């Protein structure tokens, strides 16, 4: 079956503010969903995409932190029911988000994290990561908690972003703000 491009839920959509409950791996639709989620991430030129960004309440995300930097084959890493076990250090990076088109800001986060998660094969894995991969994981993990990167920026940066955020939120109807298809190049 051909992978499907999933609709993107944009800032102002209430599902982006939901904390997603743990999901079961027995879900028959899980395999198709993982394939479509990964496909949609690459089609949007993203390095990470969480389930609620495409309107699903499955507690999982996909990442491919190397994708934007290297010309190479896709290597999607799916993390199901992830738990950040510990974190330390500090790093600051400019972040953006497929659900917040046109918005970028510096975000401070722990530099190193230990995360455990279940793979699509059902294996529970624990690993310690740092660098860009740790930033991407924390950004996606936040989505599963209903948190967006703009919640974490400085007060001054928040003020600067306010109008753009309000413009995005103004497009929401009945708590939904969904974009189908690909954005114009
Ligand atoms: Zn995001």
Tell me whether residue 140 is one of the annotated catalytic residues. Answer: yes
Taking the centre of ligand 1 as the mean of its atom positions, its distance from the CA of residue 121, in whole angstroms, is: 25
CATH number at residue 76: 3.90.45.10
Alpha carbon of 144 to ligand 1 centroid (Å): 10
Which residue carries 């974009």 as its tokens? 179
Q: Could you list the residue range(s) of the whole structural domain that residue 76 is in?
A: 8-179
Q: Residues near 24 by Cβ (< 8 Å), separated by ≥ 6?
A: none
**Residue 9 has what DSSP assignment?**
E
How many independent structural domains does the chain possess?
1
Does any domain span residue 135?
Answer: yes
Assess if residue 153 is contained within a domain. Answer: yes
pLDDT for 124-177, tens place per residue? 999 999 999 999 999 999 999 999 999 999 999 999 999 999 999 999 999 999
Note whether residue 2 is domain-resident. no
Q: Is residue 122 part of a domain?
A: yes
pLDDT tens for 75-107 read: 999 999 999 999 999 999 999 999 999 999 999
What is the pTM (predicted TM-score) of this model? Answer: 0.95
């Amino acid at each position: 079956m051909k992978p499907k491009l999933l609709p993107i839920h944009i800032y102002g959509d209430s599902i982006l503010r939901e904390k997603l409950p743990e999901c079961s791996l027995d879900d028959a639709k899980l395999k198709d969903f993982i394939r479509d989620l990964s496909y949609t991430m690459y089609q949007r030129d993203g390095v990470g995409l969480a389930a609620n960004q495409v309107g699903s309440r499955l507690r999982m995300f996909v990442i491919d932190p190397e994708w934007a930097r290297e010309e190479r084959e896709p290597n999607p890493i799916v993390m199901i029911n992830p738990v950040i076990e510990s974190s330390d250090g500090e790093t600051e990076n400019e972040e953006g988000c497929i659900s917040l088109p046109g918005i970028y800001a510096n975000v401070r986060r722990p530099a190193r994290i230990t995360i455990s998660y279940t793979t699509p094969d059902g294996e529970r894995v624990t690993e310690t990561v740092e660098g860009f991969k740790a930033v991407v994981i924390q950004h996606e993990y936040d989505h599963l908690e209903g948190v967006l990167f703009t919640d974490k920026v400085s007060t001054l940066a928040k003020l600067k972003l306010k109008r753009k955020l309000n413009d995005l939120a103004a497009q929401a109807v009945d708590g939904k703000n969904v974009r189908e298809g690909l954005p114009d190049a």
